[in-house]
Chains A and B, each alone.
Chain A
Amino acid sequence: MAAPVLEVRNVGKVFSRGLIKKEELVALDDFSLRIEPDRPTITAIAGESGSGKTTLALLVLGLVTPSSGQIVYQGRDTAAMSAREWTTFRREVQAIFQDPFEVFNPFYRIDHVLETVIRKFKLAGDRREGDRLIRETLSSLGLKPDEVLGRFPHQLSGGQRQRIMVARAVLPDPKVIVADEPVSMVDASLRALILDNMLRLKRERGISFLYITHDLSTAYQISDDIYVMYLGGVAEHGDVARVIEHPRHPYTKLLVESVPIPDPAAGWGENVELPPEDEVRQQTRGGCRFARRCPHVMDICRENPPPLYEVGPNQYASCFLYRDQPVKAAGGAGAPAGRPLPVVAPS
Chain B
Amino acid sequence: MENGRHGDVLRVEGLQVRYRTPAGEAQAVRGVSFTIGRGARFGLVGESGCGKSTTANAILRLIKPPGYIAGGRVLVDGVDVLGLRDEPLRKLRWSKLALVMQGAMNSLNPVMRVGEQIADAITSHGEARPSAGELERRITRLLGAVGLPARAYRMFPHELSGGMKQRACIAMAMALEPALIVADEPTSALDVVVQRVVAQTLREVGERLGASLLLIGHDMGLQAQLVHRLGVMYAGELVEVGTVEAMFARPKHPYTQLLISSVPSLKERTLPKPIPGLPPSLVNPPAGCVFHPRCPHAMDICRAVAPAPREVGPGQVAACHLYGDDPRIGATGAAPARDAAGQTA
Asked if residues A187 and B162 are in contact (CB atoms below 8 Å), the reply is no
Asked if residues B270 and A342 are in contact (CB atoms below 8 Å), the reply is yes
- Assess A277 versus B161: contact at CB under 8 Å? Given A258-B193, A260-B219, A263-B248: yes
Interchain nearest-CB distance for A186 vs B (Å): 7
Asked if residues A264 and B193 are in contact (CB atoms below 8 Å), the reply is no
Asked if residues A48 and B191 are in contact (CB atoms below 8 Å), the reply is yes
Asked if residues B192 and A214 are in contact (CB atoms below 8 Å), the reply is yes
Q: Which of B114-122, B123-131, B256-264 contacts the other chain?
A: B256-264
Q: Closest A-chain residue to B161, C-beta based?
A: A277
Asked if residues B248 and A244 are in contact (CB atoms below 8 Å), the reply is no
From A187, A265, A273, give the contact of B245 (CB < 8 A): A265
Does A282 sit within 8 A of B, measured CB to CB? Answer: no
Asked if residues B273 and A346 are in contact (CB atoms below 8 Å), the reply is yes
| CB interface residues, B 171-213, toward A, < 8 Å | 191-197, 199-200
Does B111 sit within 8 A of A, measured CB to CB? Answer: no
Q: Closest B-chain residue to A198, C-beta based?
A: B271
From B218, B222, B225, B248, give the contact of A188 (CB < 8 A): B218
Interchain nearest-CB distance for B291 vs A (Å): 13
- Assess A347 versus B225: contact at CB under 8 Å? Given A188-B264, A259-B266, A268-B196: no
From A158, A259, A262, give the contact of B248 (CB < 8 A): A262
Asked if residues B245 and A264 are in contact (CB atoms below 8 Å), the reply is yes
Asked if residues B271 and A221 are in contact (CB atoms below 8 Å), the reply is yes
Asked if residues B270 and A344 are in contact (CB atoms below 8 Å), the reply is yes
**Residue with the greatest number of chain B CB neighbours at <10 A, chosen from A187, A254, A278:** A187
Q: Closest A-chain residue to B151, C-beta based?
A: A276
Asked if residues A256 and B218 are in contact (CB atoms below 8 Å), the reply is no
**Residue with the greatest number of chain A CB neighbours at <10 A, chosen from B200, B218, B224:** B224
Asked if residues B271 and A262 are in contact (CB atoms below 8 Å), the reply is no
Q: Which of A57-65, A117-125, A189-197 contacts the other chain?
A: A189-197
Give Cα A214–Cα B265 distance, bound, in whole angstroms: 14
- Assess A272 versus B196: contact at CB under 8 Å? Given A49-B162, A261-B224: yes
User: What chain A residues lie within 8 Å of B266 (beta carbons)?
Assistant: 216-217, 220, 244, 256, 259, 261
Asked if residues A261 and B265 are in contact (CB atoms below 8 Å), the reply is yes
User: What chain A residues lie within 8 Å of B330 (beta carbons)?
Assistant: none
From B162, B225, B262, give the contact of A264 (CB < 8 A): B225
Asked if residues A48 and B193 are in contact (CB atoms below 8 Å), the reply is yes
Does B66 sit within 8 A of A, measured CB to CB? Answer: no
- Assess A49 versus B273: contact at CB under 8 Å? Given A187-B47, A263-B224, A271-B200: no
- Assess A188 versus B263: contact at CB under 8 Å? Given A261-B225, A263-B248, A268-B225: yes
User: What chain B residues lie within 8 Å of A264 (beta carbons)?
Assistant: 224-225, 244-245, 248
Asked if residues B272 and A188 are in contact (CB atoms below 8 Å), the reply is yes
User: What chain B residues lie within 8 Å of A83 (beta carbons)?
Assistant: none
Asked if residues A254 and B162 are in contact (CB atoms below 8 Å), the reply is no
User: What chain A residues lie within 8 Å of B191 (beta carbons)?
Assistant: 48-49, 214
User: What chain A residues lie within 8 Å of B220 (beta carbons)?
Assistant: 188, 262
Give Cα A335–Cα B105 distance, bound, in whole angstroms: 44
Give Cα A263–Cα B221 distance, bound, in whole angstroms: 7
Interchain nearest-CB distance for B162 vs A (Å): 7
Asked if residues B161 and A261 are in contact (CB atoms below 8 Å), the reply is no
Give Cα A342–Cα B264 distance, bound, in whole angstroms: 14
Residues of chain B at interface, number, CB under 8 A: 47
Does A321 sit within 8 A of B, measured CB to CB? Answer: no
- Assess A187 versus B218: contact at CB under 8 Å? Given A192-B272, A218-B264: yes
Asked if residues A344 and B245 are in contact (CB atoms below 8 Å), the reply is no
- Assess A343 versus B196: contact at CB under 8 Å? Given A189-B47, A277-B164: no
Does A82 sit within 8 A of B, measured CB to CB? Answer: no
Does B159 sit within 8 A of A, measured CB to CB? Answer: yes
Does B144 sit within 8 A of A, measured CB to CB? Answer: no
Asked if residues A192 and B194 are in contact (CB atoms below 8 Å), the reply is no
- Assess A258 versus B269: contact at CB under 8 Å? Given A157-B278, A187-B48, A274-B147: no
Residues of chain A at interface, number, CB under 8 A: 52
**Residue with the greatest number of chain A CB neighbours at <10 A, chosen from B48, B197, B221, B271:** B271
Interchain nearest-CB distance for A72 vs B (Å): 31
Asked if residues A255 and B193 are in contact (CB atoms below 8 Å), the reply is yes
Does B274 sit within 8 A of A, measured CB to CB? Answer: yes
Asked if residues B264 and A272 are in contact (CB atoms below 8 Å), the reply is no
Give Cα A272–Cα B245 distance, bound, in whole angstroms: 25
Q: Closest A-chain residue to B190, C-beta based?
A: A49
Does B149 sit within 8 A of A, measured CB to CB? Answer: yes
User: What chain B residues lie within 8 Å of A343 (beta carbons)?
Assistant: 270
| CB interface residues, B 149-165, toward A, < 8 Å | 149, 159-164
- Assess A274 versus B224: contact at CB under 8 Å? Given A244-B266, A256-B266: no
Does A241 sit within 8 A of B, measured CB to CB? Answer: yes
User: What chain A residues lie within 8 Å of B244 (beta carbons)?
Assistant: 264
Asked if residues B271 and A260 are in contact (CB atoms below 8 Å), the reply is no
Asked if residues A221 and B161 are in contact (CB atoms below 8 Å), the reply is no
Does B276 sit within 8 A of A, measured CB to CB? Answer: yes
Asked if residues A255 and B192 are in contact (CB atoms below 8 Å), the reply is yes
Does A222 sit within 8 A of B, measured CB to CB? Answer: yes
Give Cα A136–Cα B308 distance, bound, in whole angstroms: 45
Asked if residues A261 and B221 are in contact (CB atoms below 8 Å), the reply is yes
Does A199 sit within 8 A of B, measured CB to CB? Answer: yes
Does B345 sit within 8 A of A, measured CB to CB? Answer: no
**Residue with the greatest number of chain B CB neighbours at <10 A, chosen from A157, A274, A278, A347:** A274
Does A345 sit within 8 A of B, measured CB to CB? Answer: yes
Does B70 sit within 8 A of A, measured CB to CB? Answer: no
Does B275 sit within 8 A of A, measured CB to CB? Answer: yes
User: What chain B residues lie within 8 Å of A278 (beta carbons)?
Assistant: 159
What 0/1 pattern do residues 44 to 55 of A give for CB contact below 8 A with B? 000011000000
User: What chain A residues lie within 8 Å of B274 (beta carbons)?
Assistant: 189-190, 192-193, 196, 347
For the complex of A and B, 3 pairs with smallest distance between CB atoms: A260-B221, A48-B191, A277-B161
A–B pairs, 12, beta carbons within 8 Å: A186-B48, A188-B263, A189-B47, A255-B193, A260-B196, A260-B221, A262-B224, A265-B245, A268-B225, A273-B197, A345-B271, A346-B273
Beyond A49-B191, A188-B259, A216-B192, 10 extra complex contacts between A and B, CB < 8 Å: A187-B48, A218-B264, A220-B269, A258-B195, A261-B221, A262-B220, A272-B197, A272-B200, A274-B147, A343-B270
